[in-house]
Amino acid sequence: MNSIANELTENKTGELKLYKELEFELVPGDNLSFVQQVADVKSERNALIKAAHGTTTLAFKFREGVLVATDSRATMGNVIASQEVKKVIEINDRLLGTMAGGAADCSYWGRVLGMECRLYQLRNKKLISVAAASKILANVVYRYKGSGLSMGMMVAGWDDKGPGLYYVDSDAQRLTNDLFSVGSGSTFAYGVLDAHYKYDMSLEEAKDLARRAIYHATHRDAYSGGIVRMYWVHKDGWVAYPLEDVSELYYQYHPEIEITNAADSPLTVNAA
């Protein structure tokens, strides 16, 4: 490498060049071992590189299909990087994926999954099943287990067996259930979902539940916010609904709150 650099930087007149050598600083030793030593994506220990991430995504099955909803805020630690991130990956006409964790990891592996699903369709002349798509994703990320990936994705769709919903993370854990919520705001979303979820819901009831769960998560979790993005997956494909600003939903779900001027309503202290 250095000999090539010297040859390129010296001309025929013998003039002195500024750069005599071309060198690159590389990670010492094995890359995987280096990442395991200095990086932490689960906030379990002090490390030189700590992955700070937050979001709220959810999906659940009901009698008319699968409802998927996410927020749109992207953060870098305590800094809001964007309020307009699309956290739903449209894999094919009947399959969706959600993003939670590192934005780059989720976006990249989501595109890889989309490529694999398209190749499956070309080879077999039919759409891939939800279970098979989630299994492909789990198998792919298993090879990178422990290498610093930060990813928690849901794969939702409709196939020959009806509605399907799977959760896959960067440790290659693969689960199926009727309801999932992933991200820093998931604990708040689960509070709403556990209280009101039922399989025998109408579409409007499902949309209201998803909207309410995302809103309450964004209200309590500083790392979630922006807009509510919702999709309905059914036997004929998926439908994307108009975006809704969570700041406007505040007054929809708290109609009893009135904005008052503090100067007109001074605090009073009752004597003991």
**Rounded CA gap, 153 and 132, in Å?**
15
The residue among 95, 149, 154, 148 whose CA lies nearest residue 121 is 95
What is the phi-psi region of residue 120: left when phi exceeds 0, alpha when psi lies from -120 to 50, beta otherwise? Answer: alpha
The residue among 226, 210, 199 whose CA lies nearest residue 69 is 210
**Rounded CA gap, 106 and 97, in Å?**
10
The residue among 94, 66, 96, 266 whose CA lies nearest residue 178 is 66
β-pair type (49-50, 39-40): parallel
The residue among 199, 194, 187, 227 whose CA lies nearest residue 211 is 227
Structure tokens at 119: 């190749």
At 175, which helix (H) or strand (E)?
strand 174-176
Catalytic residue (choose from 13, 55, 56, 218)? 55
Query: Is 187 an annotated catalytic residue?
Result: no
**Rounded CA gap, 231 and 207, in Å?**
9
Enzyme catalytic residues: 55
